[in-house]
Amino acid sequence: MFDQVASVFFDEANELLDNLEGYLLTLENEPENQEVISAVFRTMHTIKGSSAMFGLDEISKFTHKMENAFDLVRQGKVFVTPQLINLTLKARDQIRCMLGSEITPEIQNASQFIIEELDSCVSGFNVDKTDSPAVSSGAPSSSDNSSSASSDSSAESTWRISFIPSESIMQNGTRPELLIRELSEMGTATVVTFADKIPPLSEIEEEKCYLYWDIILTTTKTENDIKDVFIFVDDTSKIKIEKITGVGIHKKIGEILISRKLITEAELTKVIEEQRKVGDLLVQKNVVSEQQIKAALAEQGHLNKLVKEKEAQVSVPTQAAVTSQTIRVNAAKLDQLVDLVGELVTFDARLSSIAAELKNSSLQTLTELGEHLIFSLRDISMDMRMLPIGTIFSRFRRLVHDLASQLGKNIELITEGAETELDKNVIEKLNDPLVHLIRNCCDHGIESPEARALSGKNATGTVTLSARHAGAFVLITISDDGAGLNRDAIYNKAVERGLIKPGESIPDKQVYDLIFQPGFSTSKAVTSVSGRGVGMDVVKKDIDSLGGSVSIETEKGRGSSFILKIPLTLAIIEGMLVQIGENKYVIPVSGVEECIEYEPKEDSDFLCSHIVARDEYLPCINMRKYFEVPGISPQDQQVVVVNDQTSKIGIIVDHIIGNHQTVIKPIGKLFKKIEGLSGSTILGDGSVALILDIFKLSDIIRKMDIKSR
């Protein structure tokens, strides 16, 4: 049970740290935004409290010191500066490091160094040490808070806090006694513990909480500060915070007992009168002080006796559990579900094939019903794996922030279409390509502030990251408003490396595509960011492995754009089943434009030929020739016209069979080196069909078409 709860804690802690990074980067541009400042404080407070509950004391202490600094920011005693933002970002990285590893002396030293830097930053505002706990000190003690509270009694308030935790609160990793301790450390506190719900010893379950509390707290803290203590408490617990003014401590305790129906008002009045007489006598004899009398009331015997007499009569109202609208699901289980749905789709294809052979109407009806249910399950399971692409977009704000500081440039990241959804597995594989492209935009694309000023541009460069749906694909564009690609520099470098011949005339697009060659770089100096020619070839390789494509648009002096075309999912796709020779192949429907009859020309015996479709002269590839299929081509061959985003090509096949729900399977090692294949699938009759890679086939056709000119 503890391991499961701890796993949830680590997941939520990492999510909180991601949110914290976003808040801090927003705060850098809006340093006076009180909502964001409060969000930073609450996030730190939550991490501090939850880590303490799990015994991660080093993290709790470290975060507490960060929290103290932002408490001063909330109070307006410290202002948000770039130095404070950078130090807090370092602290955020340090907390993540501490979450994932054992606390070594090196980690402790790094934590202490950050705290010392933060202390120096805060002390620059001449903050009075009595205003707030020192950043470099540990958690404040109860006595420290009491003295500070009494030194500023004009700002003190008295609060009555009723805390009735749910019985299952400890099963969620929350430790109520630590919450009570934290409240006590805010000022002068009187805590009344109620134990009437404790069952007989034989019926006690160690994971359940049977206690509940009423606390009278006199403090300089605000109601929001008190609420922050309970920020990590589950929704089924009852928390009530009331402000009390103008009554003595004995009256406050009496009100608690009356509200709990432990005593009546008449019984309270009688007890108070008796205690007052005894107290007055003791004060007159100089045995005790008046303050000691008040403090002793919480422990006085008459009230305790009355509490015990009334315990059996107490009934505490319970709060109905709030049904959560979301649950956390292990990603591996979700992948297993999609795999099983894929097997069901294959099973349905097999069942449909058998029903068609038997020509049994009842079986065909059941098959159609099963197909409807399976496809509905497919859509739901695939939708469960879809995530907004903003989940990775948010990571790049920090990347651009750090690169701008490292390169001495002013760069702003703009994101658009963050709500666009994409398969979880695709999103995970997009991180590295996007990192490479953004780094290149920041280093090679965006000019220095001085160069931008000379060009009449704003000193702050812009990198834009956008996403939008385009049929069964998502188009992701990474663009900058920098200098654009230098065609001459790329061309000369290609000549130098022997990729093209000197003086050879090639289209601009092919020149720009040369940057995807392994080891290609026009940078004259190698930096820690780029210049080694490693990255862009990896980008293209990674995008190709996703069944996508990458293209470039650039304008000198205006900037460049890298456009990624990515399939929505890598699990199940709509395919067009075709036949070439004795074998069957699948063409993704998302790229199909139309199907037309093939009319052989004089060049029909060649691998690459041309057709005219709707007044367009299109290159096409003869798949029988490409796969070296023996035998004579059928008289009625057909052409499937596909679009690879940049242009159209024709794929000549023997027959078009029809649509097919394609469950993508990995291709075997035997076919790994065959260009033009992206995967495989199992057909209804149990045979295997290979999936054609239209992007690779398009590259092959273009290269052959250029050579033939």
3-state SS track over 96-140: HHHHCCCCCHHHHHHHHHHHHHHHHHHHCCCCCCCCCCCCCCCCC
Residue 3, pLDDT score: 55
Q: In the chain, where are the structural domains located?
A: 2-123, 142-313, 331-385, 388-567, 572-708
Report how far residue 576's alpha carbon sits from residue 660's, in angstroms, rounded to the nearest whole number.
6
CATH class of 142-313: alpha beta
Residue 313, pLDDT score: 44
Buried b (16+ CB within 10 A) or exposed e, 406-438: ebebebbbebebeebbbbbbbbebbeebbbbbb
Q: Which CATH number is associated with domain 2-123?
A: 1.20.120.160
Q: What is the signed CA dihedral for 647, 649, 655, 661, rounded to 10 degrees?
A: -30
Q: Which CATH number is associated with domain 388-567?
A: 3.30.565.10
Report how far residue 474's alpha carbon sits from residue 467's, in angstroms, rounded to the nearest whole number.
7
Other CB atoms within a 10 A radius of the CB of residue 241 amount to 17
Residue 579, pLDDT score: 92
Residue 480, pLDDT score: 93
DSSP H or E run through 464: strand 460-470
Report how far residue 529's alpha carbon sits from residue 436's, in angstroms, rounded to the nearest whole number.
10
- Judge contact between 169 and 208, C-beta under 8 A: no
Residue 562, pLDDT score: 93
Report how far residue 653's alpha carbon sits from residue 633's, in angstroms, rounded to the nearest whole number.
9
Tell me which residue has tokens 């069909």.
689
Residue 151, pLDDT score: 39
Report how far residue 299's alpha carbon sits from residue 289's, in angstroms, rounded to the nearest whole number.
16
Residue 466, pLDDT score: 93
DSSP H or E run through 354: helix 331-358
User: What residues of the chain score a pLDDT lower than 70?
Assistant: 1-8, 53, 126-155, 172-173, 232, 245-263, 268, 271-272, 274-327, 471-472, 523-535, 601-606, 644-646, 705-709
Pair of tokens at residue 638: 């057909």
Residue 592, pLDDT score: 87
Residue 178, pLDDT score: 81
CATH class of 572-708: mainly beta
Please write the tens of the pLDDT for every residue from 557-590. 889 999 998 887 777 788 899 999 889 999 988 7
- Judge contact between 157 and 243, C-beta under 8 A: yes
Please write the tens of the pLDDT for every residue from 425-459. 888 888 888 999 998 899 888 999 998 988 888 98
Residue 585, pLDDT score: 93
pTM of the complete model = 0.62
* CA angle in degrees (0–180, nearest 5) for 392-398-399: 80
Tell me which residue has tokens 């297993």.
336
Residue 158, pLDDT score: 86
Residue 578, pLDDT score: 93
DSSP H or E run through 191: strand 187-194
Pair of tokens at residue 146: 């009491």
Residue 416, pLDDT score: 92
